[in-house]
Amino acid sequence: MARPQNNRIVKTPPLYSAFKPIGVNSRDLQTIGLSLDEYEAIRLADNNGLSHLDASKEMNISRSTFSRLIDSARKKVAEFIVKGMFLQIEGGNIHFESNSIKCNSCGYIFTISIDEHVEICPKCNSDDLNNMANKYGHGRCCSVNRRHRGGRKK
C-alpha cells in the first residue's frame, strides 16, 4: 500500500481555474483536471524558470517528486492544447502560503498572508471581495499548517 501523500505548498491560489478553446461550449468538451500542486509546478518551473531543485524546496517536496509532478502537469497541458479539451484546476493535497483577493467591484487583485483577513478593498473600499483560497476550500487549514511549519522566511 502506498504511503499517504504529504501536503505540498502552493504560494497563492490561481486567479483562474478553468480554460477552454474559444467558440466551444465547455459541456461539449472532454475535461482534463490539473491539480493545484501540478499548477504550482508549472508556475514555478515554466513561468518562473526555477530549477527542479529550487522549485521542490519552494513546494516542500523532494526533487524527484517535483520531477514526477512537473512531467504529469506538462503532459496534461499539452493534451489540453493539442486535443482542445476543457482544463479544470482543482484539488490536490496542498496548503496555500498566501491568499489572493479579487474585488468584484473594481477588479483590483491583491495578495495577503494566509493568516490575514480583509473585508474591504484597499482600492475602492467595496466589501464585494472574492477570496481565492476559499474558492478551493482552503484558508484556516493553511494558516494552521503554516504555524506548525513555523512560517516561511523569504
* pLDDT tens, position by position, 81-123: 999 999 999 988 888 989 999 999 999 999 998 888 899 999 9
Q: What is the mean pLDDT of residues 10-15?
A: 92
- The C-alpha cell at 132 is 481565492
pTM: predicted TM-score of the whole model, two decimal places:
0.83
Contacts with 140 (C-beta within 8 Å, 6 or more apart), sequence order: none
Q: Which of 30, 31, 12 is nearest to 138 (CA)?
A: 12
Q: Are 33 and 91 in contact (CB under 8 A)?
A: yes
- The pairing of strands 8-10 and 94-96 is parallel
**For the chain, which domains are there?**
8-94 (no CATH), 95-149 (2.20.28.10)
Whole-number pLDDT of residue 82: 97
Q: Are 87 and 77 in contact (CB under 8 A)?
A: yes
Task: Please write the tens of the pLDDT for every residue from 54-78.
Answer: 999 999 999 999 999 999 999 999 9
